[in-house]
Amino acid sequence: MYLIGNISIYLGIVISLYGIIANIVGIKKKSSKWIESARGAVLSLAFVASIASFLLLYLLGTSQFQYKYVASYTNESLPIAYKLTAFWAGNAGSLLLWAVLLALYTAMVVFSKEKKNPMMPYVSSILMVNILFFFTVMALNANPFEMTDKIPADGKGLNPMLQNPGMILHPVTLYMGYVGLAVPFAFGIAALILKRMDSEWIKLTRRWTLLAWLFLTLGNVIGGWWAYLELGWGGYWAWDPVENASFLPWLTVSAFLHSVMIQERKNMLKTWNVSLIILSYILTLFGTFLVRSGILTSVHAFGDSNLGTYFLVFMAFMMLFSLYIVMTRYGLLKKDSSPIEAYFSKESSFLLNNMILVAAAFAVFWGTMYPLISETFTGTKVNVGAPYFDKVMAPILLVLIVLMGICPLIAWQKAVFEKFMKNTLWPLAMGVATAIILFAVGVKGIYAIIGLSATSFMFGTHLQEFARGIGARRKATKENVLKAAFKLTVKNQRRYGGYIVHIGIAVIAVGVISSHTYSTEVLKTVDAGNSIKTGDYSLKFNQLTEHTKNGNGIVVADIDVTYKGKDIGKIKPEKIFYETWPEPSTEVAIKTNWSQDLYVVLSSWENKDKVTFMVKVNPFVSWIWMGGIIMVIGTAFALIGGRPTTSRYQINKGISRVGG
């Protein structure tokens, strides 16, 4: 098996090198046979990467501790699900996961119905450069099939924090997002190399970009959920460098998804779009560099290797290569691009939204890198921490929410300010009414009230868009409400999918603003039989017990909970002492209802009758997860049926031709 694993990795290097060369020869000689052969190389890459992956899964599942990777991340008593997810627990496995996803994506692209597109040899070459990099790094620095000198009796086991269902989904979804962005990047660069300045590459990669964004969204939301359950500090987002690293491409791809519509319809923002996709792709490499290099302190970092250097070099190479291509085509991009004609138009509002998303990305980047920047110039590492991010990001996100409320009200074609103002009335009234109600019921915190009112305004805009859309359709077709609603959304999946995503963001915003502003925390030591009171909750501590499961010692606190005087059952926060891990892990106990979470952590104990608990009441946290689900549904809706936007630019050209 050692032989097969290593053959797969070294074959990966040889085949990707061959594939790149075959494409170059095919392009130079204009030979379809060479290009077909390069396509065969892509198929071979998917084949060898899959073999290596299945082999690693087999080794992990059957506890073959003669392999260093298996011995480092699993042990005999680990449940099979976590044995298999240890695939991406370490550097070598993560690189293999990246390689196999990339190889499979590349195969799907080059064998798609666009396989005869002249861009394809360039696209497959660019993707194979990426595959080559991952196989090379595995061979040189992080081979998942490396053997141990002496076979250990048992493995070291998996970090307890990684023994959570989040481990099954969070890394994979993020990787699928990261890897997916390589596809639009490759198409963008291929289009520039071929000097194809139209929006064909955008149309061809629309689904890939949306899919990558969907996975990035899922990855980030699941990551937040996992942190909330597992880390035991009561929050879901800590502005940790690695969290930020996955948030950065999400922001830039969000900008890209909006600005491509302008290029498709109006032939504008060509340089901007290609720059955004390059930036997004580079940020995925940057994120991996942060995780692998250990240059910044993070709960995620795999800081025990020098893989960061490889990523830094590769990132620099890809950045310089992309810059060179953009610079040499800059004149053409400029020449072929239409300027923005009116300040009050859909395209201006989209451009503003893009600027703000990119500004948000820059603010996150700056805060993340500040410790390094300060160390370079002053010799002292200064961490800016969550207060900086909260202070900078809160107004940026507020402006984004307001813009999300404004943009849908502006027509694509002849936007008229008076009409827009009229259409804003109801959503605005909804925002103002929210503010008044919140003040009236005694809610405090002016910034939170502004944020919640803005969210209500944005939600109102979208409700109105749906209602008016249904009304307009009924007027034109005389259909009943349900049929009109169904047909309206199904026939405009891209637009209404986007609106559903916006509604998901509104739901998340309510959760984030409320939990951030109105969360309460009590840290209290209680004797058995005594209670802790917080808000409407009363928690009566009964006893502390200890038992063993799968060889791990588990300490459980038994607590009766009442809410507004009514018994709502028991909760049992735990501490688990793993055989193979020095630090105990905290298992949080959570009681959720629609408006708040009771979050209880077993902090410490003097003896079994005197225990310290951290009790938090977090309002509307469940709305964050619900919002995430709505966003995923909206994206999937836009993805499944959405067709590329009609090129209004071409239509306008057509109209001027016929003299309309």
The CB-of-44 to other proteins minimum distance in angstroms stands at 4
| Binding to other proteins, residues 624-653 (CB under 8 A) | 646-648, 650-651
Q: Cα–chain-centroid distance for residue 560?
A: 38
Q: How far is CA 354 from the centre of its chain?
A: 18
In the list 9, 11, 92, 189, the residue contacting other proteins (rule: CB under 8 A) is 11
Q: Counting contacts by CB under 8 A, is residue 480 touching other proteins?
A: no
**Residue 606 near other proteins by CB under 8 A:** no
For other proteins, the binding residue among 16, 44, 552, 586 (CB under 8 A) is 44
Instruction: For residues 122 and 35, give the distance between their C-alpha atoms in angstroms, rounded to a whole number.
Output: 10
125 binds other proteins (CB under 8 A): no
Size of the site for other proteins (CB under 8 A): 67
Q: Contacting other proteins (CB under 8 A), which of 156, 300, 381, 487?
A: 487
Regarding 505 and contact with other proteins (CB under 8 A), the answer is no
Residue whose structure tokens are 């490499």: 285
Please tell me whether residue 320 binds other proteins under the rule CB under 8 A: no
Residue with smaller CB distance to other proteins, 131 or 611? 131
Judged by CB under 8 A, the stretch of 304-312, 382-390, 441-449, 474-482 that binds other proteins is 474-482
* Number of neighbours of residue 499 by Cβ within 10 angstroms: 22
> Which CA distances in Å does 629 have to 217, 220, 221?
10, 12, 9
30 backbone dihedrals φ, ψ, rounded to 5° = 55, 45
Any contact of residue 655 with other proteins (CB under 8 A)?
yes
Of 157 and 469, nearer to other proteins (C-beta) is: 469
Which CB, 441 or 476, lies closer to other proteins? Answer: 476
Computed over its alpha carbons, how large is the radius of gyration of the chain?
27
* CA diameter of the chain: 89
Residue 414 beta carbon to other proteins: minimum distance, rounded to whole angstroms: 4
Using CB under 8 A as the binding rule, whether residue 332 contacts other proteins is answered as no
Residue 200 binds other proteins, judged by CB under 8 A: yes
The piece of 42-50, 132-140, 242-250, 554-562 that touches other proteins (CB under 8 A) is 42-50
Would you say the C-alpha torsion 244, 97, 173, 274 has a positive or negative sign? positive
- Closest to other proteins by CB, 200 vs 558, is 200
Q: Does 32 bind other proteins (CB under 8 A)?
A: yes
Check binding of 429 to other proteins (CB under 8 A). no
Under DSSP, the state recorded for 267 is S
The SS3 assignment for 581 reads: coil
Nearest CA among 313, 305, 251, 320 for reference residue 286: 313
Q: Where are the alpha helices (DSSP H) in 379-477?
A: 385-406, 417-440, 446-477
Q: Does 472 bind other proteins (CB under 8 A)?
A: yes
Q: Cβ closer to other proteins: 89 or 103?
A: 103
Q: Which of 545, 580, 523 shows the shortest CA–CA distance to 234?
A: 523
Is 22 a residue that touches other proteins (CB under 8 A)? yes
Residues with Cβ within 8 Å of 101's Cβ and at least 6 positions away in sequence, in order, are: 175, 176, 179
Indicate the residue among 206 and 575 with the shorter CB distance to other proteins.
206
Which backbone phi and psi does 304 adopt, to 5 degrees? Answer: -95, 30
If the CB atoms of residues 47 and 577 are measured against other proteins, the closer one turns out to be 47
Task: State in angstroms the smallest separation of the CB of 264 from other proteins.
Answer: 10
CB nearer to other proteins: pick between 115 and 608: 115
Question: Residue 566's beta-bridge partner residues?
Answer: 563
- Kindly tell me which of 409 and 615 has the beta carbon lying closer to other proteins: 409
**Among positions 440, 446, 482, 658, the unique one binding other proteins when judged by CB under 8 A:** 658
- Sequence-distant (≥ 6) Cβ neighbours of residue 289 within 8 angstroms: 308, 311, 312, 315
Strands 552-563 and 574-577: antiparallel
**Binders of other proteins among 160-199, rule CB under 8 A?**
198-199
Among 465, 500, 514, 634, binds other proteins (CB under 8 A): 465
Distance between CA 205 and CA 117 in Å, rounded?
13
Indicate whether 424 belongs to the interface with other proteins (CB under 8 A). Answer: no
With 0-12 / 13-18 / 19 or more C-beta atoms within 10 angstroms meaning exposed / middle / buried, residue 614 is: buried
Per CB under 8 A, which region of 149-157, 360-368, 465-473, 510-518 contacts other proteins?
465-473
Q: What are phi and psi of 563, to 5 degrees?
A: -125, 120
Look at strands 566-571 and 574-577 and give their pairing: unpaired
Cα–Cα distance between 622 and 620 in angstroms, integer? Answer: 5
The least distance separating other proteins from the CB of residue 240, rounded to whole angstroms, comes to 41
Footprint of other proteins on this chain (CB under 8 A)? 1, 3-4, 7-8, 11, 15, 18, 22, 26-27, 29-37, 39-41, 43-44, 47-48, 51, 116-118, 121, 198-200, 409-416, 419-420, 422-423, 465, 468-469, 471-473, 475-477, 487, 491, 646-648, 650-651, 654-655, 658, 660
